[in-house]
Amino acid sequence: MNEVTVNRIREGVMTLLTARFPDIGVYGGEQTQDGQTPQSPCFLLKLLTASQEQELGRRYNRTLSFLIQYIPEAAQRGASLHETAESLFELFREAVIDETRYFGSKMKYEIVEKSLHFFFSFHFLVWQPAPEGPKMQSLEEEGHIKHGN
């Protein structure tokens, strides 16, 4: 079983975007690694919130909420932004990351200043490892056989 971490999910989302849109750059923030504003068209992935609530014992309900901002080329029309949003709905409806299925929820989008803002969340359960209790040092075993009367 793979360990579930926020960074693995983020990287998995970026990998899914790159596989679905191979000709479009995917960045994990508002700037590239060298500090420059990315060239359009591109996707910018931002983790909005991460929360975790204990349910029972070692079981926790974790929620990760994301924003994917799609910045199109200057000549791209609004209709293609709606088509991109439809593709994102399909992509995150049931996403496989590290051989685990995550189901997108609370998916919605809006078009702001000629760019697409797509919001979605992943809700899933995580289990904390069991604490290691003290182990017995040694055990002495004794037995007797009783004969007759």
**Domains of the chain: which residue ranges?**
6-127
Strand partners of residue 46: 67
pLDDT tens digits for range 20-60: 999 999 998 755 556 666 777 899 999 999 999 998 888 88
DSSP 91: H
Q: What is the mean pLDDT of the chain?
A: 86
Residues 21, 43 contacting (CB under 8 angstroms): yes
For domain 6-127, give its CATH number from 3.30.70.120, 3.30.2000.10, 3.20.20.120, 3.30.420.10.
Answer: 3.30.2000.10
Give the residue-averaged pLDDT of 104-129: 91
Residues above pLDDT 90, as percent of the chain: 52
**Average of pLDDT values for 109-131?**
89
**Most trustworthy range by pLDDT among 6-10, 31-35, 141-145:** 6-10
Q: Phi and psi (nearest 5°) for 10? A: -55, -50
Distance between terminal CA atoms of the chain?
Answer: 59
